[in-house]
Structure 1
Amino acid sequence: MSNELTEDQIQTRVFALIEEAGPWKPPDALTPLRDLGIDSLSVMDLLSAVEKDFSFRIPDEDVNRFANAQDIISYVKNRRF
């Protein structure tokens, strides 16, 4: 995987992972995951998919940082692969 993904590319992939994880389609990156009906177990499944897709591990201490898709996008963007 290239280290040079743009934020738009990351957003597209994160939105696809959200849609694959369940019947959710985020209207934008700032909509809270809970408002989409994504419960804590589904968030864990989503983060596992993010780890697999972007080939890195999210440490347990970071799991509660993700309130919306933008939080995930920013986290991925700021990761050093």
Structure 2
Amino acid sequence: MSIQAMNTAINNNRKLLPKRDKLKNRLGGYDPTKKTEYNLPKASSKQLRDLRKRLQLETKIWWIKAISLTSVLFGIMVYFFLKYA
């Protein structure tokens, strides 16, 4: 890439900067110092425990399905490899 092409690319990018700033201030603008506040409900320790158990069970079931599917597909591949090789 020539130096002139790099200079052109840099100048074109520099020309786009003011347009980006104008768009940033529309519809309420953008304030990097403003923090987002979340209104999360309070959860009891029992609810958290139940949620943890449910998520662990879902993860365990997902891993069982993934390993089973992988094993079946691997077995099919080995079968066809041994039959046609």
What TM-score, normalized by structure 2, do the two folds share?
A: 0.23
Larger gyration radius, structure 1 or structure 2: 2
- Higher share in helix: 2
With structure 1 as the length reference, what TM-score do the two structures score?
Answer: 0.24
